[in-house]
Amino acid sequence: MSASSDNAARPAAVLDFTPDVTWAARSRWAYRDVMEAARLWRLCWMLGWLDIKLKYRGSVLGPFWLTLSTAVMVAAMGGIYATLFRMNLHEYLPFLTLSLVLWGFVGAVVNEGCNSFVQQETMIRSERMPYTVYAVRIVLRNLLVLGHNLVVIVGVFAVLDTWPGWNALLSLPAMLLWLLDALALSFLLGALCARFRDIPPIVNSLLQMAFFVTPVIWKPELVGPDRAWLLPMNPLFSVLDVVRAPLLGQVPTLMVYVSAIGYSALLCALTWVFFVRARGRVSFWI
């Protein structure tokens, strides 16, 4: 058989350049992005630690400046607000310390999450790397800062001789929930703010308002028993109290647990939907 007859019998090759834009295909790519970042966990940790070192390069105390400023804030605000709210300082100061330290972590993740992709424009354009790495980087560096600020909490507990007891162990699974929420926020806000540059100042303003309507400097008991059911409607209260209450020696109510898990599930679902759709466009938005 001649070569010409072989070519005639062989089907012609067809190149299909139509992209697979189905939801299943996009979900697979997003899942692969997360799994690749999980394999690069050492790189994520090194980048987070490098951010801390670069931020405080040349500083004597380094990140402990944040610890010192938090301690000064607690000492200054503790006496003032305990007097204004007519509360026992021995009970109020541990509450205020935990609230300010935990809120500092939440505020930092929200503010930095808005720029998780925009600030890494050069790296995204020059190096192929999972987008999840940039989100994990933000969470880890703020987790390191939170670890430094734990010194203030332990110091207040030691000075006042107020220890939470075994109930503090309930905060460990709650912290895992926090880390998941922080990662989801970094994804969602990073992609949204890459597309719409007006969102960061809006988020900053909303966060400032949320600070005053959330029990951070005032205790939840001040709303009264007839309005206590309104507190879980604030997502920040539920997410905050599920970690704070065990560290104060208390057990969060069932409503707090249910609302915290529900809000976290809603946030993760919303983040996944948006990340699946926006993942391939982030590099064009920044």
Predicted confidence pLDDT, tens digits, the chain (286 residues): 555 555 555 656 555 545 556 777 788 888 888 888 888 888 888 888 888 888 777 666 666 777 788 888 888 887 777 777 777 778 888 888 888 899 988 888 998 888 888 888 888 888 788 888 888 889 988 888 888 888 888 888 888 888 888 888 888 888 899 899 999 998 888 888 888 888 888 988 899 888 888 888 888 887 777 777 888 888 888 889 899 889 888 888 888 889 999 999 999 999 998 888 888 788 778 7
Amino acid 166 reads: W
| Predicted local distance difference test score (pLDDT) of residue 266 | 93
Q: How far apart are CA 169 and CA 53, in angstroms?
A: 31
Amino acid 110 reads: V
The answer to whether residues 246 and 169 touch, using CB atoms and an 8 Å cutoff, is yes
| Predicted local distance difference test score (pLDDT) of residue 276 | 86
Q: How is 145-182 classified by DSSP, letter by letter? A: HHHHHHHHHHHHHHHHT---GGGGGGHHHHHHHHHHHH
Rounded to 5 degrees, φ, ψ at 57 are -65, 130
* Residue in this structure with the two tokens 């800062």, named with its chain if needed: 145
Of residues 213, 217, 216, the one with CA closest to residue 233:
213
| Predicted local distance difference test score (pLDDT) of residue 8 | 54
Report the predicted TM-score, pTM, of the whole model to 2 decimal places.
0.83
* Residue in this structure with the two tokens 């500092």, named with its chain if needed: 104
Q: How far apart are CA 174 and CA 77, in angstroms?
A: 27
Q: What tokens were used for 49?
A: 């630690």
Q: What is the dihedral of CA 126, 189, 108, 210, to 10 degrees?
A: 170
The CA–CA distances, whole Å, from 187 to 55, 142, 148, 156, 218 equal 23, 15, 25, 35, 31
Amino acid 152 reads: V
The answer to whether residues 97 and 156 touch, using CB atoms and an 8 Å cutoff, is yes
Q: What tokens were used for 113?
A: 């999450």
Of residues 234, 280, 278, the one with CA closest to residue 259:
234
Round the CA-based radius of gyration of the chain to a whole number and report it. 24
Q: How far apart are CA 271 and CA 131, in angstroms?
A: 13
Of residues 48, 102, 139, the one with CA closest to residue 216:
102
Q: How is 198-235 classified by DSSP, letter by letter? A: THHHHHHHHHHHHHHHSTTSS-GGGG-TTSGGGGGGSH
Cα dihedral 100, 101, 104, 106 sign: negative
Q: What tokens were used for 275?
A: 């990340």
The CA–CA distances, whole Å, from 131 to 35, 40, 49, 114, 281 equal 11, 12, 18, 14, 11
